[in-house]
């Protein structure tokens, strides 16, 4: 069995080994410190005797290294080779993996009915899937980030040990998901357990042997990945976003390393720009935004009122005519700079005034001509069951769309239609002649 030694010895970056078997571009070593892709952590990169390692995975208890080269140039079985693990990528993955545990520890302190649903490391970000009683909001993300970075600052020890499965499952609060942390299972009834902080008392392990340091337990999980020895090695953690990939699951995406540093710098720059634009300090931005929103709301209300009055004035100027169909007095014409919804209140205001026409039919100009019809309540003749010849806004719009295409609808007092395939003036002429 050639299980990877990387999880237990994450600091090893160069080693010698004997080639155990060769199959095309795939070789198996008698021992290896390359990490095989597992549980969301990608495979290590590096070289074996100068040939790039394309991929590393575990099959039937054997770590298989797929090399990027011609089979003829690869080492043969029995040869001793020198292997080099890519330092930068291993360091990033190790810090990122421990950071995911730190973030989960932060979620333990903020979320109810918390569960673990997996994680994944990419080159630019890390995701952790959480099951929670309620979806996380922006304030939750801020608190997760704050708590996670505090755990980094507190320099908590990180240790790992292999325990019997029943003993591991009995640990208080352990995150245990055999589907997403298959690397934690050694193929027997033993489980690899990673702890951030101290569980207290004596324990054996490859890191932190002996008594506790007094650091609190931050997180404990079944895990087969590589980890740093202390949370201070992680560096800044920057929460990027959240999403909901499934019912009851919140996906939190975050960055560590250069991506986190760049993200924080970009956020700071954006905050400075916003503060400059609002003539405020960064800490006062929420109040400044609230004031700006209140002002915008007032201006929007003023604009709506002004638009209503302007459109009412234009409707008052429409020439009137008496339609043969219902013997009502109609104001008919075109209206610029409006849409059907904008015209409802102005039309009702005009029709309610003394000496107003019985009804209004307005045709909107522009690239998408529309028609609006409005009828005064008094002109309907008692509503349902009233005068059969009373003007009906819905019937007028239906007639227009029958004649000029498009569609629409509404009731006796107000209706609208759009998609007319005609010049607005032609529609107005048709309305005046009906």
Q: What is the distance between the alpha carbons of residues 58 and 55, in angstroms, rounded to a whole number?
A: 10
Q: What is the distance between the alpha carbons of residues 362 and 339, in angstroms, rounded to a whole number?
A: 10
Sequence ranges of the chain with CATH classification 3.10.310.40: 311-433
Fold (CATH) for 91-275: 3.30.980
pLDDT over threshold 60, residue 373: yes
pLDDT digit string, tens, across residues 97-136? 999 999 999 999 999 889 988 899 999 999 999 999 888 9
Q: What is the distance between the alpha carbons of residues 122 and 259, in angstroms, rounded to a whole number?
A: 11
Q: 120-124, 172-176, 369-373: which range is least confident on average?
A: 172-176
Closest among 310, 315, 303 to 372, alpha carbons compared: 315
Q: How far is CA 125 from CA 180, 196, 225, 256, 391, in A?
A: 18, 21, 17, 7, 65
Q: What is the distance between the alpha carbons of residues 333 and 426, in angstroms, rounded to a whole number?
A: 10
Could you say which architecture CATH assigns to the domain 14-85? Beta Barrel (2.40)
3-state secondary structure string, the chain? CECCCCCCCCCCCEEEEEEEEEECCEEEECCCCCCCCECCECCCCEEECCEEEEEEEEECCEEEEEECCCHHHCCCCCCEEEEEECHHHHHHHHHHHHHHHHHHHHHHCCCCCCEEEEEEECCCCEEEEEECCCCCCHHHHHHHHHHHHHHHHCCCEEEEEEEEHHHHHCCCCCECCCCCCHHHECCCCEEEEEEECCCCCCCCCCCCCCCCCCCCCCEEEECCCCCCCEHHHCCCEEEEEEEEEECCEEEEEEEEHHHHHHHHHHHHHHHHHHHHHCCCCHHHHHHHHHHHHHHHHHHHHHHHHHHHHHHHHHHHCCCEEECCCCCCEEEEEEECCCCHHHHHHHHHHHHHCCCCCCEEEEEECCCCCEEEEEECHHHHCCCCCCCCCCCCHHHHHHHHHHHHCCEEEECCCEEEEECCCCCHHHHHHHHHHC
pLDDT digit string, tens, across residues 267-303? 999 999 999 999 999 999 999 999 999 999 999 999 9
pLDDT digit string, tens, across residues 16-53? 999 999 999 999 999 999 999 998 999 999 999 999 99
CB 22 within 8 A of CB 29: no
- For the segment(s) 311-433, the CATH number from 3.40.980.10, 3.10.310.40, 3.40.190.10, 3.30.1490.20 is 3.10.310.40
Sequence ranges of the chain with CATH classification 3.30.980.10: 91-275
Q: 53-57, 67-71, 167-171, 302-306: which range is least confident on average?
A: 67-71
Q: Would you place residue 326 in the very low, low, confident or very high pLDDT band (cuts 50, 70, 90)?
A: low
């Amino acid at each position: 069995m050639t299980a990877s030694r990387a999880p237990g010895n994450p600091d090893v970056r160069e080693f010698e080994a004997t080639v155990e078997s060769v199959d095309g571009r795939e070789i198996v070593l008698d021992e290896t410190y390359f990490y095989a892709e597992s549980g969301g952590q990608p495979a290590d990169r590096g070289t074996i005797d100068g040939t790039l390692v394309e991929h590393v995975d575990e099959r039937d208890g054997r770590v298989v290294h797929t090399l990027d080269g011609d089979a003829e140039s690869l080492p043969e079985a029995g040869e001793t080779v020198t292997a080099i693990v890519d330092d930068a990528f291993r360091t990033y993955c190790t810090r990122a993996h421990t950071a995911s545990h730190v973030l989960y520890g932060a979620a333990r302190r903020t979320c109810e009915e918390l569960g673990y649903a997996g994680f994944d490391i990419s080159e630019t970000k890390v995701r952790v899937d959480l099951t929670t009683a309620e979806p996380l909001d922006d304030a939750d993300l801020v608190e997760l980030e704050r708590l996670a970075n505090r755990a980094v600052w507190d320099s908590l020890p990180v240790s790992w040990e292999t325990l019997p499965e029943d003993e591991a499952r009995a640990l208080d609060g352990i995150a245990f998901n055999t589907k997403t942390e298959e690397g934690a299972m050694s193929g027997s009834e033993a489980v690899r357990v990673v702890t951030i902080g101290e569980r207290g008392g004596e324990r054996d392990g490859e890191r932190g042997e002996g008594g506790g340091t007094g650091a609190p337990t931050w997180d404990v999980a079944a895990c087969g990945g590589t980890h740093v020895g202390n949370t201070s090695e992680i560096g800044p953690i920057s929460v990027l976003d959240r999403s909901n990939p499934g019912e009851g699951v919140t996906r939190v995406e975050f960055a560590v390393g250069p991506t986190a540093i760049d993200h924080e710098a970009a956020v700071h720059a954006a905050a400075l720009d916003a503060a400059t634009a609002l003539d405020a300090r960064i800490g006062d931005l929420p109040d400044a935004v609230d004031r700006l929103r209140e002002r915008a709301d007032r201006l929007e209300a003023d604009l709506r009122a002004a638009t209503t009055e302007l459109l009412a004035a234009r409707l008052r100027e429409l020439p009137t005519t008496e339609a043969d169909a219902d013997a009502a007095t109609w104001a008919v014409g075109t209206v610029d700079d409006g849409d059907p919804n904008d015209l409802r209140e102005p039309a009702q205001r005009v029709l309610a005034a003394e000496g107003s026409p019985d009804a209004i039919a307005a045709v909107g100009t522009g690239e998408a001509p529309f028609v609006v019809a409005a009828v005064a309540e008094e002109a309907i003749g008692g509503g349902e069951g009233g005068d059969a010849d009373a003007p009906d806004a819905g019937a007028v719009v239906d007639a227009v769309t029958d004649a000029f295409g498009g569609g629409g609808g509404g009731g006796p007092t107000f209706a609208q239609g759009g998609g007319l395939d005609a010049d607005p003036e032609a529609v107005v002429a048709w309305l005046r002649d009906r």
